[in-house]
A = this chain, B = another copy of it.
Amino acid sequence: MFEALTVAVSTDLRFGDRVKLTYNGRKIEGMFISLEHGLITLKLGNGYNIVLQEDEFRPDQVTKAENKPERRPRSVDVKNGVKILATGGTIASRIDYTTGAVKPSPEVISALETGEQNVGYSVIDDILSENMTPEKWIYIAKKTKEELDRGNHVVILHGTDTMTYTASALAFMLERQSRSVILTGSQRSSDRPSSDAFENISSSIMFTALNAGEVCISMHGSISDFSGRLMRGTRSRKMHTSRRDAIRPVDGRYLARIEDGVAIKEAEFRSTGEDSVLIPKMDSRAAILYFYPGMDPGIFETIAQKNDAIVIMGTGLGHVSESIISEVRKAHGSGVHIVMTSQCIAGNTNLNVYSTGRELKAAGAISAGDILPEVALTKAMFLLANHSDEFEKLMQIPMRGEIEERLRIE
């Protein structure tokens, strides 16, 4: 069973092989994941990876992986049920992190096949969510609309990294929806003991019964199992790199929870309607710019030349330095929309309190209450494509629940 390996034959290692070695004097055991760019990646028992230089790699023992026949993902059609659309991400992947390609995991497929009645499944994309683009959002929106029109609820499997960007993009494009649309993902892949993949899919299916007529996200509400929570797509954000409850509503208020296997409503949301209306257009000439002390105004200028709308993540209530205000004035003068948001993430913006805010306002910038910066970006892309004449007005009005707190004047 065991073979001694030398450096020269390390490339004979295959995904899944078990490797024992000594690293900095410690005994380590892990599974071979990949050899890329001269770096060998092993997955340890605790779920973490370790990366070693190929030329320093001296395994003590290697146990070859067994050959298992791979089950192939199927596309299962369904009507008046729940259709799961897989776009990629950890939830739809096996441990094969090497390519990032979606190989819907055998575990997830088995669960679906043996589980819920009237649940269909289709792979519509196969990417890690950091590679999402506005074009892909439009494609997902169209696929979602097709399923809604067939009487289905839609559960979208998506990487957690940019899930809230996609959720809010879909929210703006879907003016009205006939059934539930819920994005879900997982922070741990389905082959790990701590995986949240099954629970998140199962919670999402349960949440569809609430008929929330808006685009939602279903993830864990705490690091514990059985803590399924539903959130508004336009009011949530990934706030931790690794916790299972990484995606959270910015004000901490969830729309619904799972309790004893039943979805319980916790807040009001829009009801589903008779039909669905999709406006499948986004204009990607919008950017997020993060302000910091000492920022070179030339950076602003370049971004303004390449975009028709800039969402600035300013400080505090929505501020930038004086040198950037003059760039805002120039950009606004040449027709670029400027939206002030805050790098604080939580709380309202307000351009009326300090002189900096008032100067920004006079230079043409607007703010939009407590809209999240990422949501302001997708809203800007939607407005540029569909309502560019009313950009400033509509940006400041809640269209899909994305603004909760506006400027209070009393």
Tell me the number of copies of this protein. 2
Do A356 and B100 form a contact, CB below 8 Å, given A290-B313, A409-B23? yes
Which of the segments A202-210, A299-307, A331-339, A384-392 contacts the partner chain? A299-307
**Interface contact A39-B358, CB-CB below 8 Å:** yes
**A246 to B299, alpha carbons, bound, how many Å?**
29
**Interface contact B100-A352, CB-CB below 8 Å:** no
Chain B residues whose C-beta falls within 8 Å of the C-beta of A2 in the assembled complex: none
Chain B residues whose C-beta falls within 8 Å of the C-beta of A166 in the assembled complex: 293
**Interface contact B287-A289, CB-CB below 8 Å:** no
Which of the segments A79-87, A110-118, A129-137 contacts the partner chain? A129-137
Determine whether A401 belongs to the interface, using a CB cutoff of 8 Å to chain B: no
**Interface contact A161-B409, CB-CB below 8 Å:** no
Which of the segments A8-16, A48-56, A226-234, A254-262 contacts the partner chain? A48-56
Determine whether A201 belongs to the interface, using a CB cutoff of 8 Å to chain B: no
Least CB separation from A349: chain B residue: B241
Least CB separation from A46: chain B residue: B410
Chain B residues whose C-beta falls within 8 Å of the C-beta of A289 in the assembled complex: 290
Least CB separation from A408: chain B residue: B48
Give the interface size bracket for A toward B.
35 or more
Determine whether A284 belongs to the interface, using a CB cutoff of 8 Å to chain B: yes
**Interface contact A352-B51, CB-CB below 8 Å:** yes
Contact of A346 among B160, B241, B342 (CB under 8 A): B241
**Interface contact B299-A41, CB-CB below 8 Å:** no
Determine whether A292 belongs to the interface, using a CB cutoff of 8 Å to chain B: yes
**A313 to B373, alpha carbons, bound, how many Å?**
13
Least CB separation from A166: chain B residue: B293
Chain B residues whose C-beta falls within 8 Å of the C-beta of A137 in the assembled complex: 293
Chain B residues whose C-beta falls within 8 Å of the C-beta of A352 in the assembled complex: 41, 48-51
Residue-wise interface mask of A (347-369) relative to B, using a CB-CB cutoff of 8 A (1 in contact, 0 not): 11110111110110110000000
**A97 to B317, alpha carbons, bound, how many Å?**
14
Which of the segments A142-150, A266-274, A319-327 contacts the partner chain? A319-327
Determine whether A26 belongs to the interface, using a CB cutoff of 8 Å to chain B: yes
Query: How far does the Cβ of A392 sit from chain B's closest Cβ, in whole Å?
Result: 15
Residue-wise interface mask of A (117-134) relative to B, using a CB-CB cutoff of 8 A (1 in contact, 0 not): 000000000001111111
Selected A-B contacts with CB under 8 Å, 12 pairs: A37-B362, A39-B361, A46-B410, A48-B350, A49-B350, A133-B293, A133-B321, A165-B292, A238-B344, A241-B342, A241-B348, A287-B295
Q: Contact residues of A with B, CB < 8 Å?
A: 23, 26, 28, 34, 36-39, 41, 44, 46, 48-51, 97-100, 128-134, 137, 159-162, 165-166, 238-243, 246, 284, 287-296, 298-299, 302-303, 306-307, 313-322, 342-350, 352-356, 358-359, 361-362, 374, 377, 381, 407-410
**4 tightest A-B CB contacts, nearest first:** A241-B347, A37-B362, A161-B315, A290-B290
Other A-B pairs, 19, CB within 8 Å; known A97-B355, A131-B322: A26-B410, A37-B362, A44-B409, A48-B353, A48-B409, A97-B354, A129-B315, A133-B321, A134-B293, A161-B315, A165-B293, A239-B345, A241-B317, A242-B348, A284-B294, A287-B292, A288-B292, A290-B290, A299-B306
